[in-house]
């Protein structure tokens, strides 16, 4: 979250694109994310089990998807902001070996105080739509 490009809240307008975040998803990152979010469901660490259930491989858990969304928006904002609301619709799974891309833009700017942005977010994994939704992001 210290990858900030020093965004100035006063300059923000609806329609502004956020920089796209790309993450190479691997077996290691899926398992590390699952354990760090205390999600011990076998579909995030047991390859034999997920193959029996018809999946191509291990896939990212939802708590990790949320973590990457927060990393994406706060990498852009710098430490000034905090996520106040996240509404995410889930699509297809994100498998090991795929590239997760998080993109989106500002849809509303409320000057406040407290300043608040509405941001739409879209997550894809290779050609699959992984998730999409919206955030409210407070600017302190």
Partner 1 sequence: MSELDSAETWLARIRERLDVPYAQVLACDPVNATMIRHWCEAHGVTDPRYWAGDLAQGERLRAPASMLQVWLQPGPSGWRPEGSATTDACEVIDWFAKAGFTGLVGVGVEQSFHRPLIEGERLYSISTLTYLSDLKTTGLGVGYFFTVRQDVYCAQEKVAQVSFRQLCYRPKVQG
State the residues that interact with partner 1 by CB under 8 A: 1-3, 23, 29, 32-33, 35-40, 54, 62-64, 66-71, 74, 79, 82-90, 133
User: In this structure, what DSSP letter does residue 121 have?
Assistant: E
What's the helix, strand, coil split of the chain in %, to 5?
A: 25, 40, 35
Shortest Å distance, C-beta 101 to partner 1: 14
Cβ closer to partner 1: 10 or 53?
A: 53
The sign of the CA dihedral 74, 8, 117, 139 is positive
Shortest Å distance, C-beta 138 to partner 1: 9
Shortest Å distance, C-beta 106 to partner 1: 18
Cβ closer to partner 1: 15 or 97?
A: 97
Q: How many CA atoms lie within 13 A of 72 on its CB side?
A: 25
Cα separation, 131 vs 89, in Å, equals 6
Cβ closer to partner 1: 33 or 104?
A: 33
Cβ closer to partner 1: 17 or 26?
A: 26
Shortest Å distance, C-beta 55 to partner 1: 11
Cα separation, 4 vs 20, in Å, equals 13
């Amino acid at each position: 979250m210290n990858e900030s490009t020093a965004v100035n809240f006063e300059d923000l307008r609806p329609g502004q694109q956020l920089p796209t975040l790309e993450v190479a998803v691997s077996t290691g990152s899926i398992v590390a994310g699952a354990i760090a979010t205390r999600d011990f469901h076998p579909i995030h660490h047991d390859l034999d089990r997920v193959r029996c259930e018809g999946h191509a491989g291990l896939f990212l858990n939802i708590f990790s998807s949320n973590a990457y969304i927060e990393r994406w928006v706060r990498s852009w904002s710098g430490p000034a902001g905090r996520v106040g609301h996240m509404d995410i619709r889930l699509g297809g799974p994100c498998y090991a070996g795929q590239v997760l891309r998080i993109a989106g833009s500002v849809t509303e700017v409320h000057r406040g105080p407290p300043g608040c942005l509405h941001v739409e977010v879209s997550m894809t994994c290779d050609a699959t739509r992984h998730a999409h939704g919206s955030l409210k992001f407070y600017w302190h």
